[in-house]
Amino acid sequence: MWRKRVLVWLFICFSGFMLLLGRLVQVQLFAAENFSKHHINLLEASVQQRSQEMVLDHGRGNFHDRNGRPIAYEKKAVLILFPFLEKMEWDAERVAKIVDAPRTELIAAVAKSKQPFAFRSPEPLILTNHQMDRINSLKIPGVFAVEQKYPLEKVPAGQLIGITGENTAEIRQRYPGKDLSPQTLIGVSGLEASFDEFLLPEGKSKLVFHVDGDGGPLFGINVKYVDPANPFYPVNIKTTLDIELQKRAEELADQHGIIKGGLVLLDIETNSVLAMVSRPNISQQDPYNQNGITNMMLKEQIMGSVFKTVIAAAAIDYELDNPSRTFDCSRKINGEPDTTYEHGTLNFIDSFARSCNYTFGELAKELSDIDPNLIEEYAEKLSLTGPVGWQGSVYHFDDFKQMADEDIGRVFRKDQERTDKNFVALSGIGQHEVRATPLAVASMMAVIARGGQKEMVRAVSEIEYKNGTVMAEFAQAPLKGEEIAPYTAMKLQQLLREVVINENGTGRWFNDLPYEVAGKSGTAETGIFDHEQQLHNKWFAGYFPYHDPKYALVTVNLDVRSDQGGINPFFADMVKAVHDYNLKQ
């Protein structure tokens, strides 16, 4: 009987031993880098237990402006102190003298810290190159002067650049074949999301110091600077933004109280984004809130009278713009008396300058009679509908889109609307279902200024390797589809200039700017009410200088009352800002 008990006991012990051995084999050999449902890297965790580290750069790729200046971060030379200094004798007095800080502050900061840190007094202490050299020449374990990359609290062009975040499930879904840490930052929105695969880190740059069980330094082992071995990564995304113009545009948006809306500034020659502002801002407390993360400049908006530019283009080509023809601009589009805008009898040019709704409602109906698809065709010719952002083949991406969250815009939603006279007339003045993104409106102005040539809009010009060589280039490229004729573009240029120089034009406020401006205003009813008052989208879109076009500019203030939120001062101040910027160059 006792033999049977011994055998059973031995079997239980042997089984338990084999289970433990199997578990050990699993942990050591098969799950060392992906342990449990939490996907813990046991190798990294074991290293962390016997070392202290200071991350200098998480290794994700960077965004630069067109001149190579960083957009989302800044590098600072700082003093790094490790907490084990509290347990050893070190020359705090000498370090304090070099950095011009009280010795007691250094000692106190080390005493209360459990992790390596950049010394603050009380602001981050920024060192000179000479101070860095002197500190590092002391060769004190746990005391280092290094350059550290600091993400900006508020990133210029935040919605265009986008944000990042940690999401283990999304990492596995997006990159099933890549061995990435669960803590890897991935793009959530904007260019961060579009270029995410290029921006993924090869590894962190960090200072690592090995310590004993009590947290003290293991002498004889120097600090290690760990940096990804690949000399080509992380990459830099060279945007077309100009950081100075971008910052000035954001200042002006806030000065003019733009709560919802923004600005798009394009370089006409290269059809590239120089500045893009979207409001509301990204919330620092809740960055993933869609109200702030959404780029309003890429979302379709009701555009109002700016759309009359499309009707004018078609009217020119179909010879409906006879200078001797007049329109009763004291009437609404439905023919009833207009007691608000009693413009009287106007010809085609004056109708455009004063933005007469009756004229362009009538012209839209006449164009629809010629061909129900005509208005949409001209909207497409002027790049107003359809995506205008750069897209094409890059590496293994057959249809890569720089601005993947761009809306496409439209004129009509249903087929029967193309022949319904009331809907057509409303569409002719940019109401009803007419929608376009501010980016597309800026593109339309650039098309007209270039004489009709359509091009994709770029926000990024190149992807550069770490060593500065070009990994991929986003060359200027035409937009597919038909274009307006050079003659039509010339006539539109004259109409847009008339808006400013006509003594009754809706853009006469811009006649005294340092650059000659051509453009079109728009005030669209949104169908949204605030305390029984209709809210409006207020636009001004144009280009400058008129005789030598270089910039297309769109400003828009969304969902504001009719007696508030005027957009003209915002547009004017941005034109002045561009002029002042060019004077400094």
Domain containing 170 — which CATH number? 3.90.1310.10
For residue 16, the model assigns a pLDDT of: 63
Beta-bridge partners for 391: 401
Task: Kindly tell me the sign of the dihedral angle through the C-alpha atoms of 501, 507, 508, 509.
Answer: negative
Question: Does residue 21 belong to any structural domain of this protein?
Answer: no
Question: Does residue 172 belong to any structural domain of this protein?
Answer: yes
For residue 261, the model assigns a pLDDT of: 97
Q: Indicate the helix (H) or strand (E) that contains 438.
A: helix 438-449
Question: Does residue 46 belong to any structural domain of this protein?
Answer: no
Domain of 107?
74-151
Q: Which residue has the tokens 């059809």?
A: 271
- Confirm whether pTM is higher than 0.85: yes
Question: Does residue 14 belong to any structural domain of this protein?
Answer: no
pLDDT digits (tens, 9 = 90+) for 355-374: 999 999 999 999 999 999 99
Check: CB of residue 317 under 8 Å from CB of residue 444: no
Q: Does the pLDDT at position 264 exceed 90?
A: yes
Same domain, 106 and 62: no
For residues 142 and 305, give the distance between their C-alpha atoms in angstroms, rounded to a whole number: 66
For residue 205, the model assigns a pLDDT of: 74
The structural domain count of the chain equals 3
Q: Does the pLDDT at position 579 exceed 60?
A: yes
pLDDT digits (tens, 9 = 90+) for 289-304: 888 899 999 999 999 9
Same domain, 207 and 123: no
Read off the DSSP letter of residue 264. E
- Among residues 305, 355, 383, 443, the one annotated as catalytic is 305
Same domain, 90 and 229: no
For residues 502 and 508, give the distance between their C-alpha atoms in angstroms, rounded to a whole number: 7
Ranges 15-24, 321-330, 444-453: which has the least confidence: 15-24
Q: Does the pLDDT at position 48 exceed 50?
A: no
For residue 18, the model assigns a pLDDT of: 64
**CATH number of residue 356's parent domain:** 3.40.710.10
Same domain, 224 and 372: no
Q: Quick one: which of 258, 319, 266, 294 has its CA closest to 160?
A: 294
Assign 469 a pLDDT band (cuts: 50, 70, 90): very high
Question: Does residue 497 belong to any structural domain of this protein?
Answer: yes
Q: Indicate the helix (H) or strand (E) that contains 501.
A: helix 486-501
Last residue of a domain, one of 219, 236, 253: 236
Task: Kindly tell me the sign of the dihedral angle through the C-alpha atoms of 104, 105, 109, 110.
Answer: negative
For residues 200 and 382, give the distance between their C-alpha atoms in angstroms, rounded to a whole number: 37
Question: Does residue 570 belong to any structural domain of this protein?
Answer: yes
The mean pLDDT of 473-479, rounded to a whole number, is 95
For residue 490, the model assigns a pLDDT of: 98
Structure tokens at 443: 């593109």
Q: What would you measure as the largest C-alpha separation in the chain, in angstroms?
A: 122
Assign 310 a pLDDT band (cuts: 50, 70, 90): very high
Same domain, 357 and 271: yes
Percentage of residues of the chain with pLDDT beyond 70: 87
**SS3 of the chain: helix, strand, coil, percent, to 5:** 35, 25, 40
Question: Does residue 44 belong to any structural domain of this protein?
Answer: no
- The verdict on whether 305 is a catalytic residue reads yes
Structure tokens at 340: 């608000």
Same domain, 398 and 544: yes
Assign 43 a pLDDT band (cuts: 50, 70, 90): very low
The mean pLDDT of 436-443, rounded to a whole number, is 98
Last residue of a domain, one of 98, 129, 151: 151
Same domain, 136 and 276: no
Q: Which residue has the tokens 């338990």?
A: 16
Same domain, 61 and 162: yes
Same domain, 369 and 513: yes
**SS3 category, 84:** helix
Same domain, 306 and 356: yes
Q: Does the pLDDT at position 44 exceed 80?
A: no
Q: What is the separation, in whole angstroms, between the first and last Cα of the chain?
A: 100
**SS3 category, 530:** strand
Question: Does residue 33 belong to any structural domain of this protein?
Answer: no
Same domain, 196 and 131: no
Last residue of a domain, one of 122, 151, 180: 151
Assign 221 a pLDDT band (cuts: 50, 70, 90): very low
Assign 547 a pLDDT band (cuts: 50, 70, 90): very high
Residues 6 or more apart whose Cβ sits within 8 Å of residue 235:
61, 62, 198, 199, 463, 464, 465, 466, 471
What value does the mean pLDDT of the chain take?
88
Same domain, 379 and 412: yes
